[in-house]
Amino acid sequence: MALVVLQSIIFFLRLLEFLIFVRVIMSWLLMIGSSNSFSNLIFELTEFMLEPARKLLNKTPLGNGFIDFSPILVWFVIEFLKSVVINAFSFFIFY
């Protein structure tokens, strides 16, 4: 049972990473302000993570530049969460 929960959590975190990756690629390829249902969906699914990271980065010198570093920060947080979840569940699975 714990293995199924672990796999579900890891799948969800990987899905979030993929959505952020798609958003970054779309921001490079599409013009700002282009609106279609797919880009709106990706925006809505990722903005809840990127907006707090953007606000946090705006308080640092990295946040006031041309490049948006919030996807990188969120990616690091997701990777950290994945390692914490794996380590926590490995205790329950193997002991």
pLDDT in tens, the chain (95 residues): 778 888 999 999 999 999 999 999 988 887 655 678 888 899 999 999 999 999 999 988 877 778 889 999 999 999 999 999 999 888 777 66
CA-angle at 15, arms to 71 and 17, nearest 5°: 20
Spatial distance between the Cα atoms of 52 and 70, rounded to a whole number of angstroms: 9
Confirm if 63 and 50 have CB atoms less than 8 A apart: no
Q: Is 68 helix (H, G, I), strand (E, B) or coil?
A: coil
Confirm if 6 and 86 have CB atoms less than 8 A apart: yes
Say what the pLDDT of residue 32 is: 57
User: Which one, of 73, 66, 71, 81, lies nearest residue 21 by Cα?
Assistant: 71
The verdict on residue 1 lying in a domain is no
The verdict on residue 27 lying in a domain is yes
The verdict on residue 79 lying in a domain is yes
Say what the pLDDT of residue 25 is: 92
The verdict on residue 6 lying in a domain is no
Say what the pLDDT of residue 33 is: 56
For the chain, how many structural domains are there in total?
1
Can you give the residue range of the structural domain that contains 19? 13-90
